[in-house]
Amino acid sequence: MEMNVSNNEEQVVAKKLGGLNPALILPILLAIGYLIYYFVLGSPGNFKPDPRLTGASVAFSDVEIKEISPEGFMGIIYMGGPIVPILISFMIIVIVFSIERALVLKKAAGAGNVDNFVLSVRRLLSQNKIDEALEECDRQQGSVGNVVKEGLTTYKALSHDSTMNKEQKMVALNKSIEEATTLEMPMLEKNMMILSTLGTVATLVALLGTVIGMIKAFHALGSGGGTPDSAALSVGISEALINTALGIGTSAVAIIFYNYFTSKIDGLTFKIDEIAMSIQQSFAEFH
């Protein structure tokens, strides 16, 4: 009964710290990316004055793209074409989910220093002070503390159980720790796939924008009866390079954050395994 209650508590913790729901958040962030592209980057104020843009809020439909002259950096990015809002959305998604993962992992690390918590619990286990170790888990309040508390609760229950032999108790203790770890890991790893995917997909989408820009550039080069349209040629090359830059930047940021959070998760997992081994050794020694 005691173990079931503890498992339910773990499930509640996992739900609380599970993070953002991608199915709900991703469409919103994509919409924000398009709004930024059309209303912020595409604002007429980011381009040189043109009588045809007077009173226009967003659209440049009355002006050929090669005749639009950006006046600032935001206008230059706007000239990257229809793939740019997708890449902007990708960058926003990476930033939002990186912040979300940072907050979740910080909460999962618990209060105080994890290394000190591990050393304290191992010291108490070596002295068979289970109640004191449980109090340390209550103060820690992180994923490591949750798993250790489940293991110690089972440890305490098995120490008073006379129906199983030592080998059966060790198996039950190990199973309890594994189940508690399994409940915590989805919360730690949730949404990491988004960062991993965008680290690759952003580059491929940017390559698509690059290819489209180069197609436009070569079309301008071959049109005009032997006289290349230099304005259209420059627009095509500019579009290709803008997409390349945005894609590489987004991919780099996604990969950096993904690797950073992966290392943090691996660190917490290692701490859990370290204490789990100590719990098993302590039980084998004292029982």
Q: What pLDDT was estimated at residue 274?
A: 86
Query: E strands, 44-99, where?
Result: none
Q: What pLDDT was estimated at residue 275?
A: 85
Q: How far apart are the first and last CA of the chain?
A: 22
70 has a pLDDT exceeding 70: yes
Question: Which CA distances in Å does 93 have to 4, 30, 67, 211, 254?
Answer: 38, 8, 33, 24, 9
Specify the pTM. Answer: 0.82
**pLDDT tens digits, one per residue of 139-158:** 888 888 888 888 888 888 88
CA–CA separation, 155 vs 152, rounded Å?
Answer: 5
**pLDDT tens digits, one per residue of 172-226:** 888 888 888 888 888 888 899 999 999 999 999 999 999 999 998 888 787 755 6
**CA dihedral over 231, 235, 238, 240, signed as positive or negative:** negative
Q: Domain locations in the chain?
A: 2-41+80-286
Q: Which of 12-16, 119-123, 239-243 has the lowest mean pLDDT?
A: 12-16
